[in-house]
Amino acid sequence: MSDTLTHGQPRRIDRRIPSHPSQDGDGVKIQRIHDFGGGLDPFLMLDELGSDRADDYLGGFPPHPHRGIQTLTYVLHGGLTHEDHLGHSSTIRAGDAQWMHTGRGIVHSEMPLTDSHGLHGFQLWLNLAARDKLSPATYRDVRASEMPHLSTRGAELIALGGHWQTAEGDSVTGPLDALAGNGGVAHVRLAPGESLTLEASAETLAVYVFHGELAVGEETIGAGELARLGAGDTLALASDSGAEALLLAGTPHREPIAHYGPFVMNDMHEIEQALAEYRDGTFTTG
């Protein structure tokens, strides 16, 4: 967090990014936001998986590789079962999250589960700093009961990672304490007619609305839209009709980004090396 900003300067929207329909894995339908040009640094991509039609997602994500990123998956309805080449096997359900530090390489699968509301969840990609891209791969899951809540009248914040503080001074720190780029992720719910003001001076700050409409200052964000916030140190959120959103905060790496499929490195030579190692079987053995 920066202490060079004038206290009380509100964050205002400086860029809007609408999600677009896409699919991944074995035909899983998603809404996607991505920026591999550094515009959301250290964040790269946010996928929203949401459907009450099993055909839209039950194919899941069969085994596939990653290198150079972290993934954070958060489930609201249904679930996902993770398995990887390191021997991790875990199922997360409503309210739970899983975090994967891919480092130099991991091969994993994610297979969906359903409940009475179908499947609804998110996967966030965070870019690793160059110094960490070839570090050992790790995995962790976090249960809903481990995530602290900030509650005020008609407003709730669930902290997955990072430090979050209201304007009144109440604060929580999420259990995921190793998110790339000093990352912070939180889930916010506002009841109709309610508001929430946070201290928020992280250089990168974004809000993704997935239910209802959310006012940031004097501008409104609709469901399926991400707003990047400009400089400041307070974030004022409000909703007339009620809303839910993800908050993303972090510190940019300001490093070159080279991207090809599941690999994110700093130059194309490193991408070509990852592809060659995956083809010859040395991807996860170095």
- pLDDT for 127-158, tens place per residue? 999 999 999 999 999 999 999 999 988 999 99
Least reliable range by pLDDT among 26-30, 69-73, 162-166: 26-30
Which percentage of the chain shows pLDDT scores above 90?
83
User: How confident is residue 2, by pLDDT bands cut at 50, 70 and 90?
Assistant: very low
Residue 40 has what pLDDT?
A: 98
Break the chain into its structural domains and give their ranges: 13-273
Kindly report, residue by residue over 39-92, the tens digit of the pLDDT.
Answer: 999 999 999 998 666 666 666 778 899 999 999 999 999 999 999 999 999 999
Give, in degrees to the nearest 5, the angle at Cα 31 between 163 and 22.
Answer: 135
Pairing of strands 61-66, 106-113: antiparallel
With a cut of 90, say whether residue 184 has pLDDT above it. Answer: yes
Do the beta carbons of residue 237 and residue 44 sit within 8 Å? no
With a cut of 50, say whether residue 1 has pLDDT above it. Answer: no
User: How confident is residue 5, by pLDDT bands cut at 50, 70 and 90?
Assistant: very low
User: How confident is residue 28, by pLDDT bands cut at 50, 70 and 90?
Assistant: confident
With a cut of 70, say whether residue 24 has pLDDT above it. Answer: yes
Which percentage of the chain shows pLDDT scores above 70?
93
Average pLDDT, stretch 13-38? 90
Three-state DSSP class for 144?
helix
Going by C-alpha positions, the residue among 190, 163, 216 that lies closest to residue 11 is 216
Least reliable range by pLDDT among 25-29, 130-134, 168-172, 264-268: 25-29
Phi, psi (degrees; rounded to nearest 5) at 254:
55, 50
Mean pLDDT score across all residues of the chain: 92
Structure tokens at 57: 């997602």
User: How confident is residue 7, by pLDDT bands cut at 50, 70 and 90?
Assistant: low
CATH class assigned to 13-273: mainly beta
Q: How far is CA 209 from CA 126, 188, 192, 225, 248, in A?
A: 19, 9, 15, 6, 11
Kindly report, residue by residue over 89-125, the tens digit of the pLDDT.
Answer: 999 999 999 999 999 999 999 988 877 678 899 999 9
